[in-house]
Amino acid sequence: MSKTEDAIKTLVEVYLKSAKGKENLGPKDFQKLVEKKLHNIMMDTDNATAVAEMRKGLDDNQDGKVSFQEYMTLMGYLAISLSDHVTSTMGAPSTEQKQDKKEEAE
Ligand SMILES: [Ca+2]
């Protein structure tokens, strides 16, 4: 599998694992996911109040839980914020466009 395919598979697996067989992530499942899996990419992941606020922002159907669709919305936001970063980094005059790859140790 390519790295890209692996990445997509990982996104899905993280959700399924966190949901533990349920259709949605409950508040605690979501808190755990953010805290354990997204702490390098997001701020305040150990702040329960901040994470709860974010959950409410993602919660389209307002059921207090995070569906797969709502989780993908968050992934989309994170991808956009990363691409903004990449764009601004590449905008700087430089002979090399090498970027350090962060490998996440599980
Ligand atoms: Ca929801």
Average pLDDT over residues 72-83: 95
Sign of the torsion angle spanned by Cα atoms 100, 54, 15, 1: negative
69 Cα–ligand 1 center, Å: 9
Instruction: Tell me how far the alpha carbon of residue 57 lies from the centroid of ligand 1, in angstroms.
Output: 10
Give 78's pLDDT tier (boundaries 50, 70, 90).
very high
**55: nearest Cα among 35, 41, 85, 82:** 35
List, for residues 19-61, the tens digit of each pLDDT value.
999 999 999 999 999 999 999 999 999 999 999 999 999 999 9
Cα distance between residue 67 and residue 44, in whole Å: 22
**If you measure from the C-alpha of residue 64 to the centroid of ligand 1, how many angstroms do you get, rounded to a whole number?**
6
Measured in Å, residue 60 CA sits from the centre of ligand 1 at 6
Q: How far is CA 91 from the centre of its chain?
A: 25
Give residue limits of the domains in the chain: 3-79
56 CA distance to ligand 1 centroid (A)?
Answer: 8
Q: What average pLDDT does the chain have?
A: 89
Centre of ligand 1 to C-alpha 103, Å, is: 31
Residue 99 has pLDDT above 90, yes or no: no
CATH classification for the domain delimited by 3-79, as one of 3.50.50.60, 2.40.420.20, 1.10.238.10, 1.10.620.20: 1.10.238.10
Distance, in Å, from the CA atom of 35 to the CA atom of 44, rounded to the nearest integer, reads 9
